[in-house]
Amino acid sequence: MTITLEQKFAHVAAYNCRLYRKYNLDDKGSHPWSLVGRLRLESDVLSEATCLLPSLASFTQTVQEVTSQEVEDAWQQGKLKTDTT
Protein backbone atom coordinates (compact mmCIF):
# COMPACT_ATOMS: atom_id res chain seq x y z
CA MET A 1 0.00 0.00 0.00
CA THR A 2 1.36 3.40 -0.96
CA ILE A 3 0.60 6.42 1.17
CA THR A 4 0.99 10.06 0.25
CA LEU A 5 3.62 12.36 1.67
CA GLU A 6 0.86 14.23 3.49
CA GLN A 7 -0.27 10.96 5.10
CA LYS A 8 3.32 10.17 6.13
CA PHE A 9 3.63 13.55 7.84
CA ALA A 10 0.26 12.98 9.54
CA HIS A 11 1.51 9.61 10.84
CA VAL A 12 4.68 11.22 12.23
CA ALA A 13 2.66 13.99 13.87
CA ALA A 14 0.29 11.44 15.44
CA TYR A 15 3.25 9.40 16.70
CA ASN A 16 4.81 12.48 18.29
CA CYS A 17 1.47 13.39 19.87
CA ARG A 18 1.16 9.89 21.36
CA LEU A 19 4.67 10.15 22.82
CA TYR A 20 3.93 13.57 24.24
CA ARG A 21 0.71 12.33 25.85
CA LYS A 22 2.48 9.25 27.21
CA TYR A 23 4.83 11.43 29.26
CA ASN A 24 2.55 14.44 29.81
CA LEU A 25 -0.84 13.29 31.01
CA ASP A 26 -1.88 16.86 31.74
CA ASP A 27 -1.54 19.92 29.49
CA LYS A 28 1.35 21.45 31.43
CA GLY A 29 3.95 19.78 29.17
CA SER A 30 6.58 19.78 31.88
CA HIS A 31 7.97 16.30 31.18
CA PRO A 32 10.31 16.19 28.17
CA TRP A 33 9.98 12.96 26.21
CA SER A 34 12.83 13.39 23.79
CA LEU A 35 16.54 14.08 24.07
CA VAL A 36 16.18 17.44 22.33
CA GLY A 37 13.27 18.39 24.58
CA ARG A 38 15.28 17.46 27.66
CA LEU A 39 18.30 19.42 26.46
CA ARG A 40 16.16 22.49 25.79
CA LEU A 41 14.50 22.23 29.19
CA GLU A 42 17.83 21.99 30.98
CA SER A 43 19.90 24.23 28.70
CA ASP A 44 20.64 26.57 31.59
CA VAL A 45 22.77 23.89 33.25
CA LEU A 46 24.66 22.77 30.14
CA SER A 47 28.25 23.90 30.08
CA GLU A 48 29.59 25.70 27.05
CA ALA A 49 32.21 22.96 26.83
CA THR A 50 29.51 20.57 25.62
CA CYS A 51 29.25 22.63 22.41
CA LEU A 52 25.53 21.82 22.34
CA LEU A 53 24.02 25.25 22.89
CA PRO A 54 24.51 26.63 19.36
CA SER A 55 23.42 23.32 17.82
CA LEU A 56 20.41 23.11 20.08
CA ALA A 57 19.32 26.61 19.13
CA SER A 58 19.32 25.78 15.42
CA PHE A 59 18.05 22.19 15.63
CA THR A 60 14.45 22.83 14.54
CA GLN A 61 15.48 25.06 11.66
CA THR A 62 18.05 22.51 10.49
CA VAL A 63 15.49 19.69 10.59
CA GLN A 64 13.08 21.80 8.51
CA GLU A 65 15.77 22.66 5.96
CA VAL A 66 16.98 19.06 5.63
CA THR A 67 13.41 17.76 5.30
CA SER A 68 12.61 20.31 2.59
CA GLN A 69 15.76 19.39 0.68
CA GLU A 70 15.05 15.65 0.95
CA VAL A 71 11.49 16.13 -0.31
CA GLU A 72 12.78 18.24 -3.21
CA ASP A 73 15.39 15.59 -4.06
CA ALA A 74 12.78 12.82 -3.93
CA TRP A 75 10.52 14.87 -6.22
CA GLN A 76 13.33 15.48 -8.71
CA GLN A 77 14.17 11.76 -8.73
CA GLY A 78 10.54 10.81 -9.42
CA LYS A 79 10.13 9.10 -6.06
CA LEU A 80 6.98 11.04 -5.18
CA LYS A 81 3.60 10.56 -6.79
CA THR A 82 2.44 13.35 -9.09
CA ASP A 83 -0.43 14.27 -6.74
CA THR A 84 2.00 15.04 -3.91
CA THR A 85 1.82 18.70 -2.95
Q: What is the dihedral of CA 42, 62, 28, 16, to 10 degrees?
A: -120
Full domain range(s) for residue 24: 5-76
Query: What are the tens digits of pLDDT across the range 40-50?
Result: 777 777 766 66
Q: What is the pTM of this model?
A: 0.51
Does residue 85 lie in a domain region? Answer: no
Residue 32 lies in a domain: yes
* 39 part of a folded domain: yes
Decide if 65 is inside a domain: yes
Instruction: Confirm if 33 and 18 have CB atoms less than 8 A apart.
Output: no
| Residue 45 domain flag | yes
Do the domain assignments include residue 37?
Answer: yes
Number of domains in the chain: 1
**Tens-place pLDDT, residues 35-77:** 777 777 777 777 666 666 677 778 878 888 998 999 889 889 9
**Inside any domain, residue 31:** yes
* 81 is a domain residue: no
- Residue 69, CA distances (Å) to 79, 84, 85 in order: 14, 15, 14
The pLDDT value given to residue 65: 92
